[in-house]
Amino acid sequence: MKKTVLLGAIALAMSVAASAKDWKEVRVAIDATYKPFTYKTPDGKPTGFDVDIANALCAEIKAKCVFVEQAWDGMIPGLNAKKYDAIISSMSITDERKKSVDFTDKYYNTPSRVVVKLDKKVDGTPASLKGLKIGVLKGSTQEKYAKGELESSGVNVVPYEAQDQVYLDIKAGRLDGTVADTVEVYEGFLKTPDGKGYGFVGPVLNQPKYFGIGAGVAIRKSDTDLRDKLNAAIKAIRGNGVYKKINDKYFNFDAYGA
């Protein structure tokens, strides 16, 4: 009997050892079209708040980050197909996404808003936006909001593969505006010459049923060890000043949010 128990314990230990991964390298998916969170330097290197946070988390768990570019709407399928190990690219933690992947705790939380040309004389309510063409990032929480709240009021919601494509079509006159993260749309559009005459309308948008509870690191449901390591790392960089240093490089407020 004792021999059987011992053999069983050995087999279990070997099984655990075989399934545990040595996270010396973490392949991180990013969509590099989302300034200031994730974008490219002029020489093509990934940079931004998400990228710096990813590198800080990898350093904390003594791993190397290897960045993999991925179109936004293919992020979760690519993760579950094992093309990469984590998504650190401003992915909001929502109940719908949690059906497919696991998440760490949040590492930042900023709201969204509607942006249109200010001469449209609208107040941002769905009814006031009737007839306008509003571009959104395909597969985003902003698309979910726009389809859930605006489309039924007669707003033409147009999904795009990348947020920077939305801005190009606004500039070209093919769109009237967008629903986007407030920080990203300010940095990527409103503060640029192309954003002249455009601005925020209506209230801050942060309803959890659409926008979730903040951005977290998405990982496969099977990789609980990586999730736990990254949760500890988020807590560590929040406590040791590394998070604040990265935050202050990009923002004049605490992006971590409430």
The correct answer on CATH 3.90.550.10 for the domain covering 23-109+213-250 is no
Class of domain 112-211: alpha beta
The secondary element (H helix, E strand) that includes residue 4 is helix 2-19
In angstroms, what CA-CA distances link 146 with 90, 92, 142, 156?
18, 16, 6, 9
DSSP secondary structure letter of residue 190: I
Summarised one tens digit per residue, pLDDT across range 145-181 is: 999 999 999 999 999 999 999 999 999 999 999 999 9
Residue 21: pLDDT band by 50, 70, 90 thresholds? confident
In angstroms, what CA-CA distances link 82 with 18, 96, 225?
18, 20, 16
The lowest-confidence range among 6-15, 105-114, 138-147, 159-168 is 6-15
**What pLDDT does 20 receive?**
58
What is the average pLDDT score of the chain?
Answer: 92
**What pLDDT does 182 receive?**
96
Question: Domains of the chain: which residue ranges?
Answer: 23-109+213-250, 112-211
C-alpha–C-alpha distance, residues 107 and 11, integer Å: 38
pLDDT of 6 over the 90 cut: no
**What pLDDT does 121 receive?**
86
**What pLDDT does 134 receive?**
98
**What pLDDT does 22 receive?**
86
Residue that wins the pLDDT comparison between 120 and 50: 50
Q: Note whether 23-109+213-250 and 112-211 share their fold.
A: yes
What is the model's pTM? 0.86
**What pLDDT does 18 receive?**
38
pLDDT of 1 over the 60 cut: no
In angstroms, what CA-CA distances link 181 with 36, 61, 200, 231?
11, 29, 11, 24
